[in-house]
């Protein structure tokens, strides 16, 4: 059974009902029906707040209420953002993305053995290099 961590873009798209890649939809639906938790990183709350504050995303609710509604969905959980994850995000192997939020998501996935669901080319390239598992969405 594969466990998933949604990248911030995937959090936004799934919450807003946008279409995901068919393979990702099938995998996430399978995880949900198996009773697996689909994880979201706390750093995604920060990114969503920034996107809303900068007018780059329109939300139906204030960012905190919107993020709380995401976490209230059945089968969705908040991943632990431990000091180990934060420290590990600063020394990831290979050539990870420079974006701090992406690095925290990658370190979280590595620490918890999760597959990152994303469209971010830098994360997908990092996965292709064998440093983390990723599923394009």
Q: What is the CATH number of the domain that holds 67?
A: 3.40.50.1010
CA-nearest of 73, 54, 67, 81 to 12 is 67
* Residue 18 pLDDT class (50, 70, 90 cuts): confident
Segment 52-111, tens digit of pLDDT? 999 999 998 999 999 999 999 999 999 999 999 999 999 999 999 999 999 999 999 999
Average pLDDT for 27-34 = 93
Q: What is the pLDDT, as a whole number, of residue 1? A: 72
Domain count, the chain: 1
pTM of the model: 0.94
Distance between CA atoms of 96 and 17, rounded to whole angstroms? 29
* Residue 19 pLDDT class (50, 70, 90 cuts): confident
Interior/surface letters 65-90, b for 16+ CB within 10 angstroms, e for the rest: ebbeebeeeeebeebebeeebeebbe
Q: What is the pLDDT, as a whole number, of residue 16? A: 87
Helices 63-71 and 8-15 pack at an angle, to 10 degrees, of 80
Query: Is 80 exceeded by the pLDDT of residue 44?
Result: yes
Question: Could you give the maximum distance between any two Cα atoms of the chain, in Å?
Answer: 39
Residue scoring higher pLDDT (40 or 19): 40
Range of the domain at 121: 4-136
| Extended strands (E) in the chain | 4-6, 38-40, 76-78, 115-118, 133-136
């Amino acid at each position: 059974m594969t466990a998933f961590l949604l990248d911030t873009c995937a959090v936004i798209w799934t919450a807003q009902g946008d279409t995901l890649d068919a393979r990702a939809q099938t995998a996430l639906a399978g995880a949900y029906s198996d009773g697996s938790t689909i994880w979201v990183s706390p750093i995604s709350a920060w990114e969503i707040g920034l996107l809303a504050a900068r007018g780059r995303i329109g939300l139906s609710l204030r960012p905190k209420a919107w993020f709380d509604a995401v976490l209230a969905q059945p089968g969705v959980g908040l991943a632990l953002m431990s000091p180990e994850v934060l420290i590990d995000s600063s020394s990831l192997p290979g050539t990870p993305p420079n974006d701090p939020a992406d690095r925290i998501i990658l370190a979280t996935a590595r620490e918890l053995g999760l597959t990152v669901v994303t469209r971010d080319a830098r994360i997908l390239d990092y996965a292709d290099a064998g440093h983390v598992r990723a599923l394009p969405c």
